[in-house]
Structure 1
Amino acid sequence: MPYVSIAIPFFRLEVERHDRHWWLTALALAALGIAVAMALFGLPPIDLHGPLHKFGIMDPLCGGTRAARYTAQGNLVQAWRYNPLSILIVGGAALAVLRTFVGLISRRWVTFGFAWTPQRRRWMIGAGLLLLVLLEIRQQMRADLLTAGTDMWR
């Protein structure tokens, strides 16, 4: 049961007395830990690419590892070059950890939600698919950059 609930068109902001999203914090801490480890120690020594990468076919996640490393180092320009999605993921993970920190101190947990209707859900799924297709096209146009330095895995 929310302590405070604020409804804005399309969105809902609730302040609760218990954290219902503890799993989000665990996932965010793992993601941030990996990004920080890569920022400090470099990229993993194993091939993380999908099977089509060897044939020059990029997917929307290509460049994500290097982009997450650059984001953790604070180099957002380079991170954007490799994959803008990683900036959102690392930033979102940092916000989730900040939410937990504030919740532990104040004993109030902020939860953000959407006021879904069937029509809004269809529009959001369509917009998400369009953005995914555009990211795929962008990543494929950067195939030379994304395959550079990965010759040791060919």
Structure 2
Amino acid sequence: MPTATVPFLRLRVEPVDRHRWLTVGAVLALGAAALMVTFGLPPVDLHGPLHMLGIMDPFCGGTRAARYAAQGDLAEAWRHNPLSIVIVYGALAALARAGLGLVTRRWLTLTIGWTPARRRRVIAVVLVLLVLLEIRQQLRADLLMAGTGTWL
């Protein structure tokens, strides 16, 4: 007897919002980006000790990049950290989903059909992408450390 394959992604319309956490996260992310666009970068140093030693992590430059992405300067956002573009515009999409759901009382729900093999593959791809982003960010250490101060 053949087994039915589970689709990897499934988009459905449902009468309830099963992803309220996504809307809350989007509001918080876009609120932070809007504050940075309005008032500038945070006045406190958000960097860890490794940054001060010249060791970047995959998220270095993310605050400045999120501000650039929120301002619509995608080239500068990409230059600092491409992940910020995904986060800012993903948050905008989540907010659009919430607005559409509030108006229509129908919620777009994207579900992932996880299997053990799919989970392993997705984890492997995410890890490879994070390593590549880490290498990229380390190659841009001079840009990312500009104006942040150092211990050396």
Q: Identify the TM-score tier after normalising by the shorter chain.
A: over 0.9
Q: Given residue 51 of structure 2, which amino acid in structure 1 is its aligned partner?
A: H
- More strand per residue: 1 or 2? 1
Of 32, 35, 40, which residue of structure 1 is paired with 2:33?
Answer: 35
Pairwise CA distance, 1:44: 0.5
Whole-Å separation in 2 of the counterparts to 1:13 and 1:26 = 21
| Runs of 5+ unmatched residues, structure 2 | none
Pairwise CA distance, 1:9: 3.7
Whole-Å separation in 1 of the counterparts to 2:69 and 2:147 = 19
Find the residue that maps to 1:40 and give its secondary structure: helix
Q: Any runs of at least 4 consecutive aligned residues in structure 1 with deviations exceeding 2 A, and if so which?
A: none
Distance 1:8 1:36, change over 3 A: farther
RMSD: 1.5
Of 116, 119, 137, which residue of structure 2 is paired with 1:118?
Answer: 116
| Runs of 5+ unmatched residues, structure 1 | 1-6
Whole-Å separation in 1 of the counterparts to 2:113 and 2:24 = 26
TM-score (norm 1): 0.91
Find the residue that maps to 1:78 and give its secondary structure: helix
Find the residue that maps to 2:11 and give its secondary structure: strand
Q: Given residue 114 of structure 1, which amino acid in structure 2 is its aligned partner?
A: I
Aligned residues: 147
Find the residue that maps to 1:113 and give its secondary structure: strand
Distance 1:8 1:73, change over 3 A: farther
Higher RCO (CA-CA < 8 Å; seq separation 6+): 2
| Identical aligned residues as a percent | 64
TM-score (norm 2): 0.93
Residue 102, structure 1, aligned to residue 100, structure 2 = yes
